[in-house]
Amino acid sequence: MAQINVSNLTFCYEGKIDNIFEKVSFSIDTDWKLGFIGRNGKGKTTFLNLLMGKYEYQGTISASAAFDYFPYSVEGTAGKEYSAELMENWKKDCELWRVLRELEELQISAETLYRPYETLSHGERTKVMLAVLFSGENDFLLIDEPTNHLDQESRELVKRYLSGKKGFILVSHDRDLLDACVDHVLVLNRCSIEVQSGNFSSWWENKNRKDAFSRMENEKHLREIGQLKKAAERSRNWAAHNEAAKIGFDPIKEHDRSKDTRAYIGAKTKKMQSRVKQYEQRMEKEIQAREGLLADIEEPKDLKIMPLRHYKEVLVRASDFGLYYERRLDSLCGEGHGQRTERWRRQVLEHLNLELWQGERVFLHGPNGCGKSSLIKAILRHQKGEDSQEQSPRIVETLREQGSLWVAPNLAVSYVNQDTSFLQGSIREYCEQNSLEESLFCAVLRQLDLERTQFSKNMEDYSEGQKKKVLIAASLLTPAHLYIWDEPLNYIDVFSRMQIEKLILEYQPTMLVVDHDVRFRERIATRVVDLS
């Protein structure tokens, strides 16, 4: 067992004003299964990159262990190569037999290594990368959000796999995964960093107790300060009154007073002024003791949503409904032979019978590729009255329907896309494009804990979690009969997840949701539709 010691770490991105870390110090063991918790944008991925030596920093990070990072980078044309070829670039001295051993634990065929990487599903890519990651010896592994875009079955498998490993930092906002896989937590609080033994739930319980104690202490100090202020004010007023009475008196009204009492009054005034100073010193001590008590307390603001009421009780109805993708490839057969057209189809959904009633929160459940996002596309297309679109002049892929799909007329839908790559430009430009009031939009982003400094940046510079918050904020500000959210919580921190859960339970909008966070689904769903 070795230690990683971080001492007085200070880091700021080049050209930026605010420090991500400032004089941070802590120690962790390389034998731990460490969960890394913190708000979006607090610097979790940045810290992993600092361990990997990607950036220059002030302070020291000392470690005897070598680091390796998930996910590996696959850029440009590398996706066309086999995973067996890529893994030698990912991990130096990678041995195939070790990778095959890990693949067996992950319940994935060795044949997967000999398929082009770009043809693998999200789950297959994650499992191949994890197998390569854990194929080394004595590495301390840095695992950044391994379950995003994975279906429930793949998440469960990754959870079981990681629970049997050790010697890693796991960045995740999935509470179920953290509870199952970690024995220590490293937490980026608002103003401090703490290391604690236990999993997410034990840390959360301790945090709630600590926050409750801090609030009680804060109230006690406020009462003390209030009492001291009143006592100081009384003493100050008494001293001022007596100081004014030292010189001159009415011998008729104050017959018991003589000129000799002036010295006595002066001495009493001086004593009272000294007492006022003592009160002020005690107040200063109380104020100092109070400082920082609430610094790390998470106080999520209450969000609002504006659901509309539709005159139809059923908003979506599918009867014996199916979906398949039909693809046409137009290619030249060679000189003098004209053009050849190839067609094939891929079925993604069959025989679905579904009614979505007003007031329901329906979660679509099933493995990747079972048609969850395709069903959402079909509903949105019907709602907008659009036809299928061609994707390329040569390759035309069309989403075809079978059976019946009906969407209520004049249905207002607020949609959160699982993809954030289209977010570019400034907040102001985004608000103009989507007819959102900028000041109100920024207020909602602040309630979702997006720092004001982010408002001056372009959205392409945001973290993935911050981009998701942009989409969620836009959805919350869009009055709708139906809220369709496709994997809305990918990359969203646990505090914001709880905040969104509270919002939905309070306002109870009609929703159609795809998300694989078990805790979120258990709290929010009124019904789960299994498409597998």
Query: What's the predicted TM-score (pTM) here?
Result: 0.76
Place of tokens 């953290």: 178
Contact 135/352 with Cβ under 8 angstroms? no
Instruction: Write out the chain's pLDDT in tens, 532 residues.
Output: 688 999 999 998 877 777 889 899 999 999 999 999 988 888 899 999 999 999 999 999 998 888 999 999 988 888 888 988 898 889 988 899 999 999 999 999 999 999 888 888 888 889 999 999 999 888 899 999 998 888 888 899 999 999 999 999 999 999 999 999 999 999 998 778 899 999 999 999 998 888 888 788 777 777 776 776 776 677 667 666 665 555 545 555 555 555 555 566 666 666 766 766 776 676 666 666 565 555 566 677 788 998 999 999 999 999 999 988 887 665 555 555 555 656 677 888 899 999 999 999 999 998 877 888 889 999 999 998 876 444 444 556 688 888 999 999 999 999 999 889 899 999 999 999 999 999 999 999 999 988 888 898 899 988 888 999 999 999 999 999 999 999 999 889 988 999 999 999 999 999 999 998 899 999 999 999 998 8
pLDDT digits (tens, 9 = 90+) for 103-117: 999 999 999 999 888
Sign of CA pseudo-dihedral 234, 239, 244, 249: positive
Query: Per the structure block, which two tokens stand in for 76?
Result: 């440009």
pLDDT for the residue numbered 390: 42
Burial class of residue 480 in the structure, from the number of CB atoms within 10 Å of its CB (0-12 exposed, 13-18 middle, 19+ buried): buried
C-alpha distances out from residue 371 to 378, 419, 488, 515, Å = 10, 16, 17, 13
pLDDT digits (tens, 9 = 90+) for 362-393: 999 988 778 888 899 999 999 988 764 444 44
pLDDT for the residue numbered 30: 92
Sign of CA pseudo-dihedral 473, 151, 35, 57: negative
Q: 364 - beta bridge partners?
A: 529
pLDDT for the residue numbered 215: 80
Query: Per the structure block, which two tokens stand in for 193?
Result: 């960093």
